[in-house]
Chains A and B, each alone.
Chain A
Amino acid sequence: MSAWQQYILARSLHDAFDALSSPAGPALPIGGGTDLLLEIQQYRHPPVHTLVDISQIPELTRLEIIQGRLFIGAGLTIRNIVDSPLVREHAIAVCEACNLIGGPQLRNTATLGGNVAHALPAADGMISLLAMDARAEIASAAGSREAPLQALFLGPGKSAIQKDREILVGFYLPLRKPGQGSAFERVMRPQGVALPILNMAVWLQRTADTVEDIRIAIGPSGPLPVRAEAAEAALKGKLLDAAALQGAMQRIHETIPFRTSVMRATADYRHHLSEVLLEDVAMKAWQRASSLE
């Protein structure tokens, strides 16, 4: 069976909605397709008649500052984002996360929109966006709306985006201000099935000796991506020292139900790695926050 019957390169949002709304069979929007095409080929996705490629629609390929916010188009390749001085300046955690997605060749095709729309609860790019407090722009034939990133998730692999009539256009991120910094890291377990087992992104705002505000995203930390709010609360207003980190780690233990995934990692190992990552990633963000201006 062919993976698809018709592949349409949409040149505009209008084109895309047209193609999605009047297909000869099941239709889906496709970005880089690096996940979707494999799922179809490997029978992990129901057959698709029409694929509507949205990665070349102008609205989806912008990367610029729009009205005081950084806009990252959902159709940009991961490589575009890694290479972008703007993203590096305002959201280095997103750069770092994107630089770990797939391999070099894959990053020339895969899109950040796909990374998020695929709705996996630990996707590297998505976790970094979560810590950056990104908001998503979603277009439909009727117009466009904005939503917090978390609102796009219904469950593992289940996106709230209605793919027959909605298109994820891009992400708005706040611009970086003095005293702000971010970072991303992940740990792999290369043995056996060879998958990442935990990642973390941290954004924070500091004064000379105090964490004024902090956002921590850990993946996977549950069926839906959520921020480690208890740990954030434990660090707010504190000096980022060993005692404060210890307190935050304790809060992670109490509030995040890490799971054991067979052949990947036990919950205990994930708990332990969350401590290691918190120390490293928060400290990196802390140092970066002091380096601006």
Chain B
Amino acid sequence: MDNSGITLTVNGQVHSLHTRPGEMLSDLLRCRLGLTGTKIACGEAECGACTVILDGEPVLSCTYPAAKADGKTVLTIEGLNGQTAPDHPHPENGRLHPLQSAFIQNGAVQCGFCIPGQIMTAYALLQRNPDPSEDEIKHALKDTLCRCAGYPAIIRSVQQAARELRGEAADASLNIPQAAQAGKFVGRLQVRADAADKVTGKAIYTDDITFPGMLHARVKRALVPSGVLRSLDVEKARRLPGVAVVLTAEDIPAEHNHGLVTHDWPVMVAVGERIRTVGDALAIVAAESREIATQALELIEFEYDPLPVVSGAIQARQPDAEQIHSTGNLLKHIKVRKGDIRQGFSDAELILEQTYFTPIHEHAYMEPECSVARMTPAGRMEIYVGSQIPYADREQVARVFGWPEERVRIIGQLIGGGFGGKEDISGQIHAAMLAHATGQPVKLLFDRHESLLVHPKRHATQIRVKAGVKKDGRLTAMETELYGDTGAYASLGEKVMTRATTHSSGPYDIPHVKADCYAMYTNNPPAGAFRGFGVMQSAFAIESLIDELAEALNLDPVELRRINALKVGSVTNTGQLLRDSVGLLECIDKVDCEVRRRAGAQPFQPRPVLGAPHKVRAWGFAVGFKNTGLGGGAPDKAGAEVELRRDGTFQVRSSSAELGQGLPTVLQLIAAEELNQPPRLVEVLLSDTDLTPDGGPTTASRQTFVTGNAVRHAAKALCELVAADLSERYDTSPERIRFIEGLAQVGERWIKLTDVAAQIIADGRQPMASYTYWAPATQPLGNGGDMHFAYSFAAQAAEVEVNTRTGEVSVLTLVIANDVGFAVNPLGLRGQIDGGAIMGIGHALTEEFIVKDGCVVTDRLARYRMPSIAFTPEIVSYVVEHPVPTGPFGAKGVGEIVLIPTSPAITNAIFHAVGVRIHRLPVDQEKILLELKTRADYNR
């Protein structure tokens, strides 16, 4: 019984290794064999990202003891190339497995972090079942989670690969139309450039980076929600062998707080200072191994004097509430006023009022936060991190050191999902402090538990809506009152709740509007940006109330929305005259038409299911809108560079971030169009503060518009620069110069772009153009005028099935139309649409981040139910393109609008099915059942 060593075969290679205490198979693969294609997203056997094939069956390597794999054969994503049949186990160089190529072609790859797990799980399925049905695919992949929710494309990919493996003709038609006004490249389906690396496991995320001598960091968290730190003793931890350094607030060189807008978030809480949330950092440790660093945390002792816990926004506003910050608990009172609200209600023939509640939502991006920091020999700080705002990271890190910003370099890495949750600082500052103190590289990786406790979430809200309406359906007045729980620190709370407020009367033309919002500090984990940015919450409220109005007026719910919909010439509640690009009515019409085609004239009537009379189906409808860009008077700009390189290819550079949404492809296509070069000659480099100009934050659905415009102008400028050079060099008028694939045509002459580049460089100049694009100016809230330079619009209809015996709800179909201005890459757009809608299903039916008295109940991924592939409905998508004249080729934002109408469309459908109104998310099946039973008892 020799247990000191194990022998296992990995991707055809035999390895004999000594086992290590506590080592899981994933550790062995990633750390000892360097096979970092196997990803760790939760470490708790919940998400499937770490799936590998062990003796032919998929297992979760994150919780499979390495010692147990003795004598077994392991296949990882790196070994899949060429694995077309089980009797040909040896990889053929370079050839992709049909699953890998199908995932690429179908646009199933977004952030990519879950993709190795998806592909390995699907591989195991196809080994056993060469012709799986959609249900069988869903069953096999149901615990392999994708937060980008590319599930429809994943299903298509598995089916396509199965056909190919069976030797059938692969039907590769995607049934995704190109843009109506497609150019040569923009508006046409384009496969993302990074997809190949993401399906083969070559893609490198921050945790895949290792440096010689790298230390591992961990953070001592308060784990109590409210109090004053009385004492902190780190001496025992410092003395633990293997610990390099332990730092506390006393070691912070300069500014003690960070924050994106308000600097209120302490890097570490000092003795005598306030603990405001469980995730507050008290001390940071760097050690030779993660195990030692973890052990050191247990040796750190602290005492605190507890203070009362403020656990919700309403409580926070009570006069006797404990004050969390010296400025009080009110982060911001936000007001919207249009017309005369009293007049509006006196004009009304019907007034309805209702209050709605939405919970905290967790981004649950598959990749937990990770930062790697190291000092350069020249004394600069390099930080490798997947960040949505690299320049803001740089500024916040530099501020803590008291350094000029240029001394810090943020080197953005691939991001395994962000959705707004990677805008704030997570471990960047701590890793940098430890690297600075030790002179060694330091990796600070959050485990899922820490990620759940620490990073800002979606604001929980309470929203009261009071609407006045004429009997014919014209809205006369809308009054809303919102409470938003921004948690312990401001993060982007003020901005988020401003967006919630300005969108709280919906995409409707209403003469009299009054909205008040109270963004409140509490002792909950901070709340900040999350896809939809407050508008998801207010859309649930307003779209639910609009449906209640339709019911009360006995009007068709679609018709009521059509009557009041914003259109060109409307004035928004903030006083903005909409001059163009308002595709809401077309979105409504497209969805309405498809729903009635499927369900007949009365889609909002309940229909029992044949053979299952306890199941009832109905449709529900909702609309939404969402600003593109920062707006509100904030300067909104992005810089970009485009360079012609010696090898004749082009590089586009901007610090804007790719979180999986597909920005590089958008920028690639825009540059290709302007340069008249095929996209494969255009490479995109993002998120490096030394190499790429500031693209601003990747938030607010703004990058296609803002950085897209910057790239377009930079590409144009590069064309002009090169044309000017050629014009002079060859004495040809610029009009006779044009560019085609790899070549410049100068009069009658053809010159290779490699030669063009060489000539310019030889003259001591750079064939490069940079451009800073300033988006159209906007006005602060309260000033009237253009608060935003563009809005996206959407309509969605959901068909649900309610089980009247259990209260269970499922979404069968979603019909969706989004006005995105112009679909730059319809393939990437489809991924955003599918993923947003499925995230919306999660927000409606399952997701709730639970905090009790400031303590996080949802402290494991197992306790947060994001939609699995089993939740995937049939999705019918229409892309509506009302171009915005200032957008690149007319494009505006898409990242957020796709999610906004989904929840109310579903809850409205539930009402139409069984008559139960949902006022609180997520839908509680028990409450539905209780109401049905109460009603049945009453009728009996």
Contact = CB atoms under 8 A, between A and B. Distances in A.
A7 B65 contact: yes
Nearest to B65: A7
A106 interface: yes
B65 A191 contact: no
B924 interface: yes
Contacts of A103: 48, 142-144
Nearest to B291: A2
Interface in B902-940: 922-926, 929-930, 933
Interface of A: 1-11, 15, 18-19, 33-34, 37-38, 41-42, 51, 53, 55, 79, 102-106, 108-109, 187, 189-194, 263, 265-266, 268-269, 272-273, 276
Given A105-B143, A106-B143, A189 B291 contact: no
Most buried by B among A41, A79, A266: A41
Nearest to B809: A190
Contacts of B294: 1
Contacts of A38: 44-45, 63
Contacts of A192: 846, 848, 850, 858, 863, 865, 922
Nearest to B55: A108
Given A9-B67, A189-B926, A265-B926, 17 more contacts: A1-B295, A2-B22, A5-B21, A6-B3, A7-B3, A8-B1, A11-B1, A38-B45, A42-B860, A53-B65, A106-B143, A108-B54, A187-B806, A191-B845, A192-B858, A193-B850, A266-B926
A269 B931 CA distance: 12
Nearest to B859: A42
A263 B849 CA distance: 12
Nearest to A263: B850
A1 B44 CA distance: 17
29 contacts: A1-B294, A2-B23, A4-B65, A7-B3, A10-B1, A11-B1, A33-B65, A53-B68, A79-B57, A103-B142, A104-B142, A105-B58, A106-B45, A106-B143, A108-B54, A108-B57, A109-B59, A190-B845, A191-B865, A191-B924, A192-B848, A192-B850, A192-B858, A194-B846, A194-B862, A194-B864, A263-B857, A265-B926, A268-B930
Given A7-B68, A34-B45, A273 B21 contact: no
B643 to A, nearest CB: 45
Contacts of A276: 805-806
B599 to A, nearest CB: 26
A110 to B, nearest CB: 9
Nearest to B22: A2
A124 to B, nearest CB: 15
Interface in B506-524: none
A265 B143 CA distance: 23
B64 interface: yes
Contact of B922 (A3, A191, A269): A191
B808 interface: yes
A6 B21 CA distance: 6
Contacts of B43: 41
Contacts of B491: none
B194 to A, nearest CB: 26
A109 B929 CA distance: 36
Nearest to B295: A1
B930 A269 contact: yes
A268 B807 CA distance: 13
A105 B121 contact: yes
B926 A105 contact: no
Interface in B129-181: 139-144
Contacts of B860: 42
A284 to B, nearest CB: 14
A191 B143 contact: no
A269 B926 contact: yes
A187 B808 contact: yes
B77 to A, nearest CB: 15
Contacts of B142: 103-104
Contacts of A33: 63, 65
A10 to B, nearest CB: 8
Interface in B850-901: 850, 857-858, 860, 862-865
Nearest to B867: A190
Interface in B74-99: none
Most buried by B among A33, A104, A105, A265: A105
A106 B857 CA distance: 24
B19 interface: yes
Top 3 closest pairs, chain A to chain B, by CB: A103-B143, A2-B22, A194-B865
A220 B53 CA distance: 34
Contact of B143 (A7, A79, A104): A104
Contacts of B65: 4, 7, 33, 37, 51, 53
Nearest to A16: B1
A100 B64 CA distance: 20
B817 interface: no
